[in-house]
Structure 1
Amino acid sequence: MNYLDEFKKFISSHYLYTGVRLTLGAVIPCLIFHHYGILNNLIAFPLGTLLIGTTDNPGPVHRRRNSLMIAIVTCFVVACVTGFLRHIHFVSFIEIILFGMFFSLVGVYGNRANSIGLISLLVFVFNIDDHISREMVLHNALVFSAGGIWYLILFLVLQKIRPYKLIQQLLGENFVELGKLLSVKAGYYFAKPDYDELFNQMIHQQVILRENHETLREILFKTRQIVSESTNTSRILMLMFLDSVDLMERILNSQQNYSNLHRAFDDTKILRLFGTYISWLAAELLQIGLAVQGGFPSKPKHDLDEAFNKCQLAFDKIRERRMTHDNVEDFIMLRQILNSIQDITERIKKLHRATAYDVDLSKDYKPNVETDDFITKQEYSPRILLDNLSFKSSHFRHAFRVTLALIIGFLSSLFFDVGHGYWILLTIVTIMKPAFSITQQRNIYRIGGTVLGAFFGFMTLYLVKDDTVIFVIMMLAMIGAYSFLKINYFVASTGITLYVLLWFNFLNPQHITAVLQDRVIDTVIGSIIAYFVSSYVLPVWEHTQIKQYMKEALDANRKYFDNVSIIFTGVSLNIGELKLHRKEAIIAMANLSDNFQRMLSEPKKQQVKMEEHHQFVATSHMLTSYIASLSTYAQTVGQSYLSEEFKPMIRQIDRQFETAIKVIEGEQHIGNEVIKESLPQNQKLIELLTVRKKEIKEMGIEKSAQSPARKALSDFKTINGLFELISTITIDEIKILNKISDEV
């Protein structure tokens, strides 16, 4: 890892931008109130700014604006209801049940609704405690809402001033992550690659990219200023995003049989040369990402044309020296890699130009797809909520766990002498998530971050006596807390604890020791409650959900394959449908991988059939890659290689997909005689291969290199080989699914 590049990426990221915006939005009003001596009466104002601000997830402007307005109204109602009724304990229990269930269950409507539900629960927790007098309930609710309105105004003003800033930040991050994906790919070409580790890194990067692409699609395709009223800047941003999606496909479809590659060429330097050059291309993508984030033109770090020419020259030399009619297939594979590298090089050179917002690039650009088809549509029908009122729903089970944990936490705050009892409930709300693995991780991070933050807070107050210095430290802690809230909960928890303690020191320095002790004790109590409830009360283990993700991956790959393969039978290409099915296949693959990664964090006894599930994830990754490779040929030379002999191959592969789906649904168990079925031989390929070998034998490598048969054989063999690989992979998946069903 290059820490300097990671630091540059963070400095220009939307995470730091968000942390600074939230911090200044909360602190500037505090300074004004302090100047006029009214801060103590208006302390709910910055709290409203911070809490409402955390619901502001990246997305289209109108959705961000609407979610902020809904959050302000919802939190005002919750604050009033809770504040006026909190002295009646049995009513408080009813509120815990109603609010706990409803605001946890609204997660069925997506991340934005889930954020509003979480903040509403936090407002409920803040107001259920007796630290606010009854006379101040309405006053505090209004002040809290005013803080939220202030953040809304701040957001709208900044959006007006810099309308493309968030898109640039997310798009830049996208290119940085693409660079990391390509860097992982380079690892396959160096000596003695660790295939399992490289595969896990590939999966991790694809999950990150999938989330990034979904957010960017929503913003770009739903922003009027970009789609309908486009400017040069907006067209370039759209162009770069679509190019990045194509580039990701190109990286994925460069999948090869790396064991055979190393067997054939490990005694030469060509694989290491390819790996080094791919690493250079990854570094170029990093430069492009940082430039897009920062809003400045990128400058190439290397002379790509010269470097690629060296790769081309090395290939030509080794082909001239070593290729025979017996190993021609190995050199076809090497040629495919060189072609992929050349394509990626040209795309990166184009992206370098795009960072300067070159008008020539954008003037002829027109999207050739229906953008609405590429956005995940979120329905908000009440029927969705009602359909989830069942213990079969993972959302309902999560809501039930949260509610039960809140009840236990509330009882603990009543029966035990803790100074800030609502911190127990606060810990429960922020830690508990639908997935056990995430809850467990956040639990550890919350305790560790709280203890570390408390230590830093104590040392700051013990060693530093200058209020100005303490205030600066508090500001930095706030910025760090809200910058890392979405990417590293341990750092965020440390920052939150540190700035909360320093804030209390300014408000009431006489009781800071008690506050520090309460913070640690209440956090530990809340964490213990969250751990036991999430572990033993209706837990949802990942192995119970993985079959659904496996089926979705199979369905998506089957549709992707069907859409791509029919082009080789003479059906015209529909680029919009092709890209839509590609998107769905990549999303399904990332979701499956994400589910498997979460399973790895669960207790060992819940890691059921891990080896088989890992094999299925790996084969699904390869399957999508091979279909993406076939898609590349379909779009470039598909109409030139039409063959009736592809039709029975396509039908057989489609039957294999259907069989795999039936196995996963429990409808069918396939015997070995079906699994051993192989694709019919392609007679046209056999003829071309015979002609090519004869040319090499009679004419030699140099003269026969210009033969039309060379290009035809290379393309046709690759296409046929991809059909064979796809068939082999689907059969492997049937075998894996049979093993899984045998062990149930």
Structure 2
Amino acid sequence: MNYLDEFKKFISSHYLSTGVRLTLGAVVPSLIFQHYGILGDMIAFPLGTLLIGGTDNPGPYHRRRNSLLIAIATCFIVACITGFLRHIHFVIFLEIIIFGMFFSLVGVYGNRVNSIGLIALLVFVFNIDDHLSGDLVLRTAAIFAAGGIWYFALFMILQKLLPYKLIQQLLGENFVELGKLLWIKARYYFADPDYDDLFNRMVHQQVILRENHENLREILFKTREIVTESTNKSRVLMLMFLDSIDLFERILNSQQNYTNLHRAFDHTKVLRLFGTYITWLSAEIQQIGLAVQSGFPSHPKHDLDEAFNKCQRAFETMREQKMTHDNMEDFIMLRQILNSLQDITERIKKLHRATTYDAEVSKGYKLNVEAENFIPKQEYHPRILLDNLSLKSSHFRHAVRVTIGLLLGYITSLFLEVGHGYWILLTIVVILKPAFSITKQRNVQRIGGTLVGVFSGFMLLYLTKDGTALFMVMLLAMILAYSFLKTNYFIASTSITLYVILSFNFLNPQQITEVLQDRVVDTVVGSIIAYLISSYVLPVWEHTQINQYIRDALNANRKYFDVVAAKFTGKDLDINELKVLRKDAIIAMANLSDNFQKMLSEPKRQQLNMEEYHQFVATSHMLTSYIASLSTYAQTLEYSEFSVEFEVMIRQIDRQIKAATDIIEGKLENSFEIARESLPQNMKLVELLAKRKKEIKELGIEKADQSPARKMLSDLKTINGLFELISTITIDEIKILQKIKTVKT
């Protein structure tokens, strides 16, 4: 994606919409208050708008509505309690312990509740001294709540006017990221690919897509108007999402043995031609994403039919000239790639048509999946909170770290002679995260962003005295701050610092020098405390959790494999069950990848068995991809006469995956024997293959192509090859896990 397309993506994204909504929601009332000379007394109003708006994460309408109301009530209560008791120092320490533990621990209920807890802590921090409310505690808390209610009203109005806008923005972003994944896939077809780099980029991209899919599933399947009271537009959006999941699986299952592919065809131009065409397909998917985000129909950037025909002609010409009975299997592999490209091409053409929202697109629409099976489950029972009151819980450890960090920060602020000591606590709250890697990253970005923001603010105030120009810069900084808050914390931190400095300059220009100094000192002090706390107070290192993610990935892949493979033994395939298990396998794979990526940012002494874990993550991705490839054939082909041969292979592969899971449980005794077993040969296929080679040798390719067994042999060879690859991968996983366990013991 070029810079222009990236700009288009940002302009039409929900991130910019959020930034503009929060900025205008805070600034417009502030201008009105300033006009009447009461902004100083009403400053809690825009603050309430910004903080309550910060809890408004993407999701179903009813959940967003309820979370906003809960956030308003919670923050009002916290502001009152803190304000009335802030002059009693020992009570403040009690509040830090109670609020710090409780509002950090509520993260066990998911991201939405975690956001409310974070904002409640920020409200506590803002009210810990009298800079905001003075002695008018109840009045200030009410004004703050009014700011939150104002944001709630904005949310309700925009939801009524643009009910599908958020879905379009998230769905469009999903297509853009899907296109990027396919672009990475295309790099495998060009000369001298860097396999490690491409794999790492694919892992990162799949983690992004997993998060997008979870957000979209929750919104689409929990929005009543889409599931039960659907309009044409909602039906098309649902169809596009379901098609995007199928397209993702198709891209995922196009995994090949690229080393063999390059060995066989590097001397020809066909791989480069395929790679170029796949790059074009990725551009088309991203074009569709931009169109869905913006709400306009998409237009193809390339003539896909002509480009595909060119690939097909190149393959057929080379096949006629160079295929022999010795290299026939290489050409079967290339044929399957061509078939995948044809399928992806047709899906993209269908998606282009869908962006017009033509009624014909959704004609005959029927949601043929059980929505409840695809919605992320989240319970809110009190026992979940009680079950996490243990040092075994990573959430509890995080709550302890936040609480100790706030205690240290508050004590430090009492001894430091700075005018905005609460900034120390604010820095600690926003930096400390459950994962060390994220805390470390945000720490660096917070310090860097603050320094750049302070320098930028100083230079602006030094170079210009034009109030209008400074106001416009402040508006831009606010929009950027809240647009990038969840995607690029460095830009967000820079922009927040800049607009805070400019706003202080408007409110109290005489003290701007002290504000600049305080901002730097408080941020650095808070960052140091956050770093020390995250490193030495009950840290949760990723290597202590990776076994659970490995177990989840193995179990998910085993269930996925079993339901797919059952079709080849003559059993019926339940498409709904298949899609649920596919979702579970992809989520488990992405969670494992995410865990491993976090390990890379931890101290070297905590990076145990990194080479082996990297190998396992790679093999886990390949295993899921091969099972996804197998599922494509399970849904489209019927070769029940081979069920006996396939059943033997399936049983052995299932035993292999079970053996890998047993190793994680500490049972190694049977795994060594299973790892030495080889998959039995499919004798029927061997006979067919020998017969086909004989036909080619004796009759030549042209006459041999007239054989009715050609298509069946190509499919069966690919299916059998997938079973062999899955078996090989699971044996590799057994050996990797044996090595990890041996090193640990």
Q: How many angstroms apart in 1 are the aligned matches of 2:614 and 2:121?
A: 38
Q: Which amino acid aligns with 1:202?
A: M
Q: How many angstroms apart in 2 are the aligned matches of 1:42 and 1:695?
A: 88
Match of 2:495 in 1: 495
Deviation at 1:322, TM superposition (A): 0.7
Q: How many angstroms apart in 1 are the aligned matches of 2:393 and 2:246?
A: 36
Match of 1:319 in 2: 319
Match of 1:730 in 2: 730
Mapped contact 2:125–2:426 kept (Cα < 8 A): yes
Mapped contact 1:56–1:64 kept (Cα < 8 A): yes
Q: Which amino acid aligns with 1:716?
A: L
Mapped contact 1:585–1:624 kept (Cα < 8 A): yes
Mapped contact 1:568–1:641 kept (Cα < 8 A): no
Q: How many angstroms apart in 2 are the aligned matches of 1:83 and 1:669?
A: 63
Match of 1:668 in 2: 668
Deviation at 1:673, TM superposition (A): 3.9
Q: How many angstroms apart in 2 are the aligned matches of 1:469 and 1:491?
A: 21
Q: Which amino acid aligns with 2:243?
A: D
Match of 1:150 in 2: 150
**Residue ranges of structure 2 left out of the alignment (5+ in a row):** none
Q: How many angstroms apart in 1 are the aligned matches of 2:305 and 2:640?
A: 29
Q: Which amino acid aligns with 1:32?
A: I
Counterparts of 1:166-565 in structure 2 under 5 Å? Answer: 166-565=166-565
Q: How many angstroms apart in 2 are the aligned matches of 1:311 and 1:367?
A: 35
Q: How many angstroms apart in 2 are the aligned matches of 1:25 and 1:157?
A: 12
Residues 60-106 of structure 1, C-alpha deviations (whole Å, 9 max, x = no match): 00000000000000000000000000111000000000000000000
Deviation at 1:699, TM superposition (A): 1.7
Mapped contact 2:659–2:671 kept (Cα < 8 A): no
Mapped contact 1:129–1:421 kept (Cα < 8 A): no
Residues 141-172 of structure 1, C-alpha deviations (whole Å, 9 max, x = no match): 00000000000000010010000000000000
Q: How many angstroms apart in 1 are the aligned matches of 2:426 and 2:563?
A: 50
Residues 355-374 of structure 1, C-alpha deviations (whole Å, 9 max, x = no match): 00121110111111101110
Counterparts of 1:650-665 in structure 2 under 5 Å? Answer: 650-665=650-665
Structure 1 residues 641 and 131, CA gap change in structure 2 (3 angstroms) = farther
More displaced, 442-451 or 2-11?
A: 2-11
Mapped contact 1:567–1:639 kept (Cα < 8 A): no
Q: Which amino acid aligns with 1:287?
A: Q
Q: Which amino acid aligns with 1:318?
A: M
Structure 1 residues 641 and 630, CA gap change in structure 2 (3 angstroms) = farther
Q: Which amino acid aligns with 1:341?
A: L
Structure 1 residues 132 and 177, CA gap change in structure 2 (3 angstroms) = closer
Q: How many angstroms apart in 2 are the aligned matches of 1:132 and 1:265?
A: 70
Counterparts of 1:694-705 in structure 2 under 5 Å? Answer: 694-705=694-705
Mapped contact 2:127–2:133 kept (Cα < 8 A): no
Mapped contact 1:669–1:738 kept (Cα < 8 A): no
Deviation at 1:642, TM superposition (A): 4.5
Deviation at 1:640, TM superposition (A): 5.5
Residues 509-544 of structure 1, C-alpha deviations (whole Å, 9 max, x = no match): 111110111011000000000000100111001111
Match of 2:615 in 1: 615
Match of 1:100 in 2: 100
Structure 1 residues 87 and 641, CA gap change in structure 2 (3 angstroms) = farther
Counterparts of 1:571-590 in structure 2 under 5 Å? Answer: 571-590=571-590
Q: Which amino acid aligns with 1:475?
A: L
Q: Which amino acid aligns with 1:396?
A: F
Mapped contact 2:663–2:671 kept (Cα < 8 A): no
Deviation at 1:59, TM superposition (A): 0.2
Structure 1 residues 400 and 685, CA gap change in structure 2 (3 angstroms) = same
Q: How many angstroms apart in 1 are the aligned matches of 2:133 and 2:702?
A: 91
Residues 296-351 of structure 1, C-alpha deviations (whole Å, 9 max, x = no match): 01000100000000000000001000111111100000000000000000000000
Q: How many angstroms apart in 1 are the aligned matches of 2:133 and 2:741?
A: 61
Match of 2:117 in 1: 117
Mapped contact 1:60–1:219 kept (Cα < 8 A): yes
Q: Which amino acid aligns with 1:235?
A: R
Residues 563-598 of structure 1, C-alpha deviations (whole Å, 9 max, x = no match): 100001111110000000000000000000000001
Q: How many angstroms apart in 2 are the aligned matches of 1:299 and 1:629?
A: 30
Deviation at 1:674, TM superposition (A): 2.9
Q: How many angstroms apart in 1 are the aligned matches of 2:581 and 2:500?
A: 48
More displaced, 674-683 or 64-73?
A: 674-683
Counterparts of 1:629-644 in structure 2 under 5 Å? Answer: 629-638=629-638, 642-644=642-644
Mapped contact 2:297–2:356 kept (Cα < 8 A): yes
**Alpha carbon RMSD of aligned pairs, Å?**
0.9
Residues 425-448 of structure 1, C-alpha deviations (whole Å, 9 max, x = no match): 000000000000000000000000
Mapped contact 2:431–2:530 kept (Cα < 8 A): yes
Q: How many angstroms apart in 2 are the aligned matches of 1:673 and 1:491?
A: 55
Match of 1:715 in 2: 715
Mapped contact 1:691–1:709 kept (Cα < 8 A): no
Q: Percent identity?
A: 77
Mapped contact 2:254–2:625 kept (Cα < 8 A): yes
Mapped contact 1:641–1:716 kept (Cα < 8 A): no
Q: How many angstroms apart in 2 are the aligned matches of 1:64 and 1:122?
A: 20
Q: Which amino acid aligns with 2:98?
A: L
Match of 2:740 in 1: 740
TM-score by length of 2: 0.99
Mapped contact 2:79–2:124 kept (Cα < 8 A): yes
Mapped contact 2:478–2:495 kept (Cα < 8 A): yes
Deviation at 1:418, TM superposition (A): 1.4
Q: Which amino acid aligns with 1:651?
A: R
Q: Which amino acid aligns with 2:555?
A: D
Mapped contact 2:133–2:140 kept (Cα < 8 A): no
Aligned-partner SS, 1:48: helix
Deviation at 1:668, TM superposition (A): 2.3
Aligned-partner SS, 1:372: helix
Deviation at 1:641, TM superposition (A): 5.9
More displaced, 674-683 or 340-349?
A: 674-683
Structure 1 residues 641 and 405, CA gap change in structure 2 (3 angstroms) = farther
Q: How many angstroms apart in 2 are the aligned matches of 1:299 and 1:253?
A: 27
Deviation at 1:132, TM superposition (A): 4.2
Mapped contact 2:570–2:640 kept (Cα < 8 A): no
Q: How many angstroms apart in 1 are the aligned matches of 2:315 and 2:527?
A: 59
Deviation at 1:667, TM superposition (A): 2.2
More displaced, 364-373 or 44-53?
A: 364-373
Residues 17-72 of structure 1, C-alpha deviations (whole Å, 9 max, x = no match): 10000000000000111111111111000000000001000000000000000000
Q: How many angstroms apart in 2 are the aligned matches of 1:626 and 1:429?
A: 43
Match of 2:598 in 1: 598
Paired residues, what number? Answer: 744
Mapped contact 1:656–1:727 kept (Cα < 8 A): yes
Deviation at 1:130, TM superposition (A): 3.0
Q: How many angstroms apart in 2 are the aligned matches of 1:638 and 1:240?
A: 28
Q: How many angstroms apart in 2 are the aligned matches of 1:462 and 1:253?
A: 58
Mapped contact 2:409–2:526 kept (Cα < 8 A): yes
Residues 649-676 of structure 1, C-alpha deviations (whole Å, 9 max, x = no match): 1111111111111101112245644312
Instruction: Give yes or no for the alignment of 1:646 onto 2:652.
Output: no
Deviation at 1:409, TM superposition (A): 0.3
Match of 1:38 in 2: 38
Aligned-partner SS, 2:678: coil
Q: How many angstroms apart in 1 are the aligned matches of 2:158 and 2:512?
A: 36
Q: How many angstroms apart in 1 are the aligned matches of 2:11 and 2:109?
A: 32
Mapped contact 1:26–1:46 kept (Cα < 8 A): yes
Q: How many angstroms apart in 2 are the aligned matches of 1:449 and 1:367?
A: 47
Residues 378-409 of structure 1, C-alpha deviations (whole Å, 9 max, x = no match): 00000000000000100000000000000000
Q: Which amino acid aligns with 1:177?
A: E
More displaced, 234-243 or 122-131?
A: 122-131
